[in-house]
């Protein structure tokens, strides 16, 4: 099983960024991975921020992304997920969370 340093403090984002930032280097050589992570990031943004008939996104909120990440990590814990050597749905989703945190500078707050 896995653990992220700030989970005990209620914020897994720092741990996710630390664990998945190295995967962002794979973007340079694997455009398919970029596309998959982009799709996951879009799904996360849509779940959190596309509201109303206009579906106008608003800026990412650290607290809401933290809540989403905690829920996702809880679901992974429930099924006994262990990070594989390669990539799976969970790795792609966690990489997307990492990418969103970095793109929107959510750890600076």
Split the chain (109 residues) into runs of 10 and give each run's mean pLDDT.
51 93 93 96 86 67 93 96 93 97 87
| pLDDT at residue 5, as a whole number | 46
Buried b (16+ CB within 10 A) or exposed e, 93-103: bbbbbbbbbee
Buried b (16+ CB within 10 A) or exposed e, 38-71: eebbeebbeebbeeeeeeeeeebebeebbebbee
| pLDDT at residue 26, as a whole number | 93
Q: Which residues contact 101 (CB under 8 A, 6 or more apart)?
A: 13, 16, 17, 65, 107
| pLDDT at residue 61, as a whole number | 87
């Amino acid at each position: 099983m896995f653990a992220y340093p700030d989970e005990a403090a209620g914020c897994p984002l720092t741990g996710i960024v630390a664990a998945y930032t190295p995967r962002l280097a794979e973007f340079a050589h694997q455009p398919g991975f970029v596309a998959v992570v982009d799709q996951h990031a879009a799904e996360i943004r849509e779940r959190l921020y596309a509201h109303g008939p206009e579906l106008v996104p608003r800026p990412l909120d650290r607290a809401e992304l933290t809540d989403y990440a905690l829920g996702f990590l809880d679901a992974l814990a429930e099924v006994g997920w262990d990070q594989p050597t390669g990539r799976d749905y969970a790795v792609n989703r966690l990489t997307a969370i990492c990418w969103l945190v970095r793109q929107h500078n959510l750890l600076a707050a």
